[in-house]
């Protein structure tokens, strides 16, 4: 089915209709010539052929009007990647400067995050640094370059880092990430928490309350406890209630495999989109070119002679 962006333009088709009626209904004038009683043979087909040739410009005008009306057709529905909104929540307290392999816990965590970005192309990523306070360093975006450039600026051993990032308040950070994720209506929601310590603001039932709110808004929390100590029970509770997992890597290689595991747990999904309206000029332009070509051929010698 064909639709038009400017259907009102089709009202102009009344002009070529009137011209077509005039071409086929008019009576041609005749001129008397001084033939002495010569026998006149009336042509049978040429008058019709000549009228058809005269109709070509009118048909061309009709086609131009249709093109000006903006013909459209429904495009074929496409399958597109279903986006996942992933918020990295990274601890930058002083303990993240502890050795982890050949570098610090913070360095290896950011290195693993950057590797994860490469094989999750098409998702939206955000980055939140936290200690006793938090900062949304990178808002949710499909351009991951800002995250890849972030590590040097909030390194825990950097003198310019504010003092209020020296502690660990996971609860406050998760609430902040929650607010960031619910602002995005499209796609799944996921928090990857990377920390190495206890959090006092999850005690006294706060962990369960935060987890229930995250679950209500369909936000999954995966926790990566990047330390040799046992994962705090409160953080494990949050991951369990939201449908996430808890990981406790002991070396950089294991940390990289953790992100591979998370990628497998959050597989890429495809969704069918509704076909969009698309311009459909091609067939009408082709018809117009054919009509114009036929009219040019008709001008090579087919003329009406009034005798």
Model pLDDT for residues 141-153, shown as the tens digit of each residue: 888 888 888 888 8
Give CA 97 to chain center in angstroms. Answer: 39
Res 185: pLDDT: 66
The CATH number assigned to the domain holding 122 equals 3.40.50.410
Res 164: pLDDT: 74
Instruction: Indicate whether 229 belongs to any domain.
Output: yes
Instruction: Indicate whether 102 belongs to any domain.
Output: yes
Res 154: pLDDT: 84
Whether 280 and 251 map to the same domain: the answer is no
Whether 256 and 292 map to the same domain: the answer is no
Q: Return d(Cα 115, Cα 255) in angstroms, integer.
A: 11
Q: Please give, one letter per residue, the 3-state secondary structure of 144-159.
A: CHHHHCCHHHHCCCCC
Four-CA torsion 142, 81, 261, 94, nearest 10 degrees: 20
Res 241: pLDDT: 95
Whether 197 and 90 map to the same domain: the answer is yes
Record the tokens describing residue 266, joined without a space. 């959050």
Question: Which one-letter DSSP state was computed for residue 8?
Answer: G
**What values do phi and psi take at 60, rounded to 5?**
-65, -40
Res 192: pLDDT: 94
Sheet holding 277-279, edge to edge: 3-4, 71-74, 277-279
Per the structure, how many domains does the chain have? 2
Tokens 């796609």, residue? Answer: 187
Res 307: pLDDT: 45
Instruction: Indicate whether 304 belongs to any domain.
Output: no
Instruction: Indicate whether 219 belongs to any domain.
Output: yes
Q: Return d(Cα 163, Cα 160) in angstroms, integer.
A: 9
**pTM score:** 0.62
pLDDT < 70 regions, the chain: 1, 27-44, 75-83, 160-161, 185, 266-276, 301-307
Whether 185 and 294 map to the same domain: the answer is no
Question: Which domain, by its residues, includes 289?
Answer: 3-31+39-76+275-298
Whether 173 and 203 map to the same domain: the answer is yes
Q: Return d(Cα 83, Cα 120) in angstroms, integer.
A: 10
Are residues 295 and 61 in contact, defined by beta-carbon separation less than 8 angstroms?
no
Instruction: Indicate whether 305 belongs to any domain.
Output: no
Record the tokens describing residue 92, joined without a space. 């930058």
Are residues 57 and 65 in contact, defined by beta-carbon separation less than 8 angstroms?
no
Whether 53 and 95 map to the same domain: the answer is no
Whether 105 and 167 map to the same domain: the answer is yes
């Amino acid at each position: 089915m064909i639709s038009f962006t400017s259907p009102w333009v089709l009202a102009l088709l009344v002009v070529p209709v009137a011209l077509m009626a005039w071409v086929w209904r008019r009576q041609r004038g005749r001129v008397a010539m001084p033939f002495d009683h010569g026998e006149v043979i009336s042509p049978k087909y040429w008058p019709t052929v000549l009228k058809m040739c005269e109709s070509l410009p009118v048909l061309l005008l009709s086609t131009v009007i249709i093109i000006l009306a903006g013909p459209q057709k429904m495009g074929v529905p496409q399958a597109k990647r279903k986006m996942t909104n992933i918020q990295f929540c990274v601890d930058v307290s002083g303990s993240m400067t502890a050795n982890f392999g050949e570098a610090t816990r913070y360095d290896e965590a950011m290195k693993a995050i950057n590797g994860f970005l490469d094989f999750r192309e098409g998702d939206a990523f955000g980055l939140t640094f936290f200690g006793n306070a938090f900062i949304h360093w990178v808002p949710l975006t499909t351009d991951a370059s800002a995250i890849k450039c972030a590590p040097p600026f909030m390194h825990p051993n950097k003198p310019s880092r504010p003092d209020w990032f020296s502690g660990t308040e996971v609860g406050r950070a998760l609430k902040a990430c929650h607010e960031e994720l619910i602002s995005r209506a499209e796609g799944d929601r996921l928090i990857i928490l990377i920390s190495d310590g206890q959090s006092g603001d999850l005690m006294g039932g706060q962990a369960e309350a935060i987890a229930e709110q995250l679950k209500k808004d369909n936000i999954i929390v995966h926790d990566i406890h990047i330390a040799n100590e046992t994962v705090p029970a409160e953080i494990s509770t949050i991951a369990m209630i939201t449908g996430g997992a808890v990981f406790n890597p002991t070396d950089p290689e294991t940390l990289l495999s953790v992100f591979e595991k998370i990628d497998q747990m959050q597989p890429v999904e495809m969704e069918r989109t509704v076909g969009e309206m698309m311009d459909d000029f091609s067939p009408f332009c082709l018809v117009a070119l054919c009509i114009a070509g036929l009219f040019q051929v008709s001008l090579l010698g087919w003329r009406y002679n009034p005798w």
